[in-house]
């Protein structure tokens, strides 16, 4: 069966995404310092076309746009030994059938010839979105495998308040990471880019809305 290739942003017939949509994507610029991260970078401001890209990544077309995104993301990778990702909750992964951050991490690792490893486990069971306020205030929680002295690239799809990625980075530092760089497809200074500093002893974050 012939399936037409369409742009995941606008739906026009094109290689994904189309040139017009690529041109509409606005750079995320320099991100503010994030607790627990030595460096943090994102490709696009989370708006319009970039928001559509992230939605496509989560719900449709993920495998088709990941290689394209990985090529762009690879240009932002610094001096690291290994690539990992901030896992989504087990429930969300079951609902979608995959973890988009894992797909991105694997593709970036391939692109940069870096090993990709499962280093983090998500301990909170419910997604941040759709939780009540009290549950959300508990924040994401992670445990990490020992990573003595490694320089780690930590990949996620979107950074909003930065709490998820900072909490994941805190867990990696607590088990011996020498360096943790954050990398995401999109960044939004949601809620005035508030970032609370997660304590390295608990690896428990506080994030109002999501990633």
- 10 vs 178 by CB, closer to Zn ion: 10
- 24 vs 196 by CB, closer to Zn ion: 24
Please give the backbone phi and psi of residue 16, each rounded to the nearest 5 degrees, phi first: -85, 135
Q: Number of H helices and number of E strands within the chain? A: 7, 6
Q: How far is the CB of 7 from Zn ion (least distance, A)?
A: 3
Q: How far is the CB of 209 from Zn ion (least distance, A)?
A: 27
What residues make contact with Zn ion under the rule CB under 5 A? 7, 9-10, 18, 21
Q: How far is the CB of 36 from Zn ion (least distance, A)?
A: 36
Q: How far is the CB of 67 from Zn ion (least distance, A)?
A: 17
Please give the backbone phi and psi of residue 15, each rounded to the nearest 5 degrees, phi first: -70, 145
- 22 vs 178 by CB, closer to Zn ion: 22
Q: How far is the CB of 47 from Zn ion (least distance, A)?
A: 15
Reduced to 3 states (helix: H, G, I; strand: E, B; else coil), residue 39 is strand
Q: What is the enclosing helix (H) or strand (E) of 102?
A: helix 100-112
- 63 vs 145 by CB, closer to Zn ion: 63
Task: For the chain, list the strands marked E by DSSP.
Answer: 39-45, 82-85, 120-122, 142-144, 151-159, 179-187
- 9 vs 65 by CB, closer to Zn ion: 9
Q: How far apart are CA 78 and CA 179, in angstroms?
A: 11
The two beta strands, 120-122 and 142-144, are: antiparallel
């Amino acid at each position: 069966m012939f399936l037409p290739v369409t742009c995941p942003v606008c739906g026009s017939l094109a290689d994904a995404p189309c040139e017009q949509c690529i041109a509409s994507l606005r750079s995320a610029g320099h991100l503010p310092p994030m607790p627990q991260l030595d460096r943090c970078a994102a490709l696009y401001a989370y708006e319009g076309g970039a928001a559509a890209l992230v939605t496509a990544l989560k719900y449709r077309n993920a495998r088709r746009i990941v290689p394209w995104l990985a090529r762009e993301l690879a240009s932002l990778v610094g001096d690291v030994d290994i690539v990992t990702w901030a896992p989504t909750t087990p429930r969300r992964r079951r609902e979608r059938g995959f973890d988009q951050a894992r797909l991105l991490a694997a593709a970036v690792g391939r692109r940069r010839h870096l090993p990709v490893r499962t280093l983090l486990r998500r301990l909170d069971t419910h997604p941040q979105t759709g939780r009540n306020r009290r549950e959300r205030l508990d924040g994401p929680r992670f445990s990490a495998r020992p990573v003595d002295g490694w320089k780690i690239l930590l990949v996620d799809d979107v950074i909003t308040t930065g709490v998820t990625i900072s909490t994941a980075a805190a867990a990696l530092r607590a088990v011996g990471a020498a360096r943790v760089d954050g990398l995401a497809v999109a960044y939004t200074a949601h809620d005035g880019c508030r970032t609370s500093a997660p304590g390295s002893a608990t690896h428990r974050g506080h994030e109002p809305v999501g990633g």
